[in-house]
Structure 1
């Protein structure tokens, strides 16, 4: 993976992770790097799911793909927050 791909994944991960945190009610006690990691994973999995169901490549903004990614990020942030909350 080229450096630009890694930087893009981090930026998309931050954005999707931040949107996922906004969707989850309450305060999540996870660091920003973990939010980015969850967001990047959600973006990759969401893109795969969108491709499988045939909505990944549309004209304009891929709203359905973005919604899938944010829902996955919200679930991931909630799950990681719960797991970290039990250990701290």
Structure 2
């Protein structure tokens, strides 16, 4: 995902954050900016976690990067919801 540049991070992160917020039911609480932040941070979290399991996240391509961001964003929103309660 590092090769995409900052615009790629924002676009993929925004989409992943938005879909993750729909999955977790937090879309009404979040705006566009928070969706992008959740998606980008989720991408970093997902890439770190998959890297721990030995998955090559750098050479995965666009769809794999999106799925990594989505996975990380869902995990991040789950953690945030657990801390809030």
What is the TM-score with the length of structure 2 in the denominator?
0.64
Runs of 4+ in 1 over 6 A off after TM superposition: none
**Could you say what the CA RMSD is over the residues aligned between the two structures, in angstroms?**
3.3
Q: Unpaired segments of 5 or more residues in structure 1? A: 84-88
Alignment correspondent of 1:31: 31
Alignment correspondent of 1:44: 44
CA distance in structure 2 between the partners assigned to 1:44 and 1:59 by the alignment? 14
- Larger gyration radius, structure 1 or structure 2: 1
What is the TM-score with the length of structure 1 in the denominator?
0.62
How many residues matched? Answer: 78
Query: Offset at 1:19?
Result: 1.8
CA distance in structure 1 between the partners assigned to 2:8 and 2:75 by the alignment? 22
Query: Offset at 1:72?
Result: 3.0
3-state secondary structure, aligned to 1:56: coil
